[in-house]
Amino acid sequence: MLNLAEYVWLDGSKPVQGLRSKTRVLNFNEQKQLAITDFPEWSFDGSSTEQAVGNDSDCILNPVRFVKDPIRGAGNYIVLCEVLNSDKTPHISNSRAKLRAVLEAGGAAQEAWFGFEQEYTLIKNDKPLGWPEAGYPEPQGPYYCAVGAGNVDGRTIVEEHMKACLDAGLMLYGINAEVMLGQWEFQIGYRGVKEESADALTTSDHTWIGRWLLDRISEDYGISVSYHPKPVTGDWNGSGCHTNFSTIGMRDPKTGMETINSAIGKLEKNHQKHIDNYGSNNDMRLVGAYETCHISEFRAGNSDRGASIRIPVSVYKEGYGYMEDRRPASNCDPYIVSRLLIETVCDIHLPSETLDFKTAVNG
């Protein structure tokens, strides 16, 4: 039996990297338990993805994680890849390699767990789904977590995407309709299942594969997905990618609140560095309204959806758990957001040349 492998990678588009993929026909022994090394390296034309110049155009796809392909079905796979230069060093656009470097330099020791809340807007004919051809729908209020025609639109895609994520084995936590009509959210990350690891690499990889599946499924309906943090200007909520984060110390009842407060202090000192790397056009969203803190301010608060960092109600009542960084934009790169959180909170500081990808890749 022949197998289809969809090789997925991040391109070199600026300021927001896009997803690309191409299909490879492979031939696996049906009985065999597959490993990532069963998927061969492959090359692509980097001059067509803003990753190379025409006279030296080959970039390498290095498979790093594979999941079942829920669209093509049994025997087929989605293969997430890191992009390497022809000499096998990480390509400058390879933010995953930087995250690996920080984890290997000590970042993994505090066993950070992550949960990303990916907000997005479904778009048809340049308008969010459910919006009238001319003008605007009724003001915000009824749409968040709503049910019923007129209150939500796009649920067919959302349900199909949820099922696809679960069939692929992604750590999908849940979905909900958002505050603006046509806007939705899916969450990927820690969900209390013992055998699962909610580490930065796994949850970031799953978020990127989740995005790819959403784009791919929406394509069949002639609908596109906007990850813009302010898809409609005016009195409409923007889209974020709230990043929930905990270290071993935050999850310990004895040290929880103290560790969370110490992390907040470090995040305050590094506010600008985080903001600079939390997505593009985020200033349009972080305006100090619509459940955001102004981009130039840093504030932490219990249950406060107008803060930069929110301590969820269960966490401040019990005195341990996790925190929510509400600053990342919907178009952020989870590899960069999780790396910065680990760097800042766990005090990992690599020499800049390491982060400039002089290190060899080890798959």
What CA dihedral angle connects 212, 218, 219 and 224, to 10 degrees?
-90
Number of residues interacting with ligand ADP: please give it, by CB under 6 A. Answer: 17
Choice between 324 and 343, CB closer to ligand ADP: 324
CB 86 within 8 A of CB 60: yes
Amino acid in the structure at residue 229: P
Single out the residue of 100, 95, 61, 98 nearest to residue 81, CA to CA.
Answer: 61
Residue 263 CA: distances (Å) to CA of 41, 157, 311: 39, 38, 12
Contact call for residues 242 and 173 (beta carbons, < 8 A): no
Amino acid in the structure at residue 82: E
Rounded least distance, CB 257 to ligand ADP, Å? 14
Distance of alpha carbon 286 from alpha carbon 237, whole angstroms: 10
The correct pick among 240, 321, 328, 334 for binding ligand ADP (CB under 6 A) is: 321
Give the three-class secondary structure for 338: helix
The DSSP secondary-structure symbol of 90 reads B
Q: Closest separation between CB of residue 305 and ligand ADP, Å?
A: 8
User: Both tokens of residue 272?
Assistant: 């600008």
Strand ranges (E), 74-112: 77-84
Residues that bind Mn ion (CB under 5 A): 117, 185, 242
Torsion angle of the four alpha carbons 290, 292, 296, 300, in this order, in degrees rounded to the nearest 10: 150
Binding-site partner at residue 113 among ligand ADP, Mn ion, none, CB < 5 to 8 Å by type: ligand ADP
The option from Mn ion, ligand ADP, none interacting with 245 (CB < 5 to 8 A, set by class) reads ligand ADP
Position among 173, 184, 208, 335 found at the interface with ligand ADP (CB under 6 A): 173
Window contacting ligand ADP (CB under 6 A); options: 111-119, 131-139, 218-226, 271-279:
111-119
Structure tokens at 106: 């000590």
Binding mask 185-214 for ligand ADP (x = CB under 6 A): --x-xxx-----------------------
From ligand ADP, Mn ion, none, which one binds at residue 327 (CB under 5 to 8 Å depending on kind)? none
Nearer CB in complex with ligand ADP: 7/186: 186
Q: Which of residues 65-104 bind ligand ADP (CB under 6 A)?
A: none
**Residue nearer to ligand ADP on the CB measure, 85 or 207:** 207
Q: Which does 357 bind (CB under 5 to 8 A by kind): Mn ion, ligand ADP, none?
A: none
Binding site for ligand ADP (CB under 6 A): 113-115, 117, 173, 187, 189-191, 242, 244-246, 251, 321-322, 324
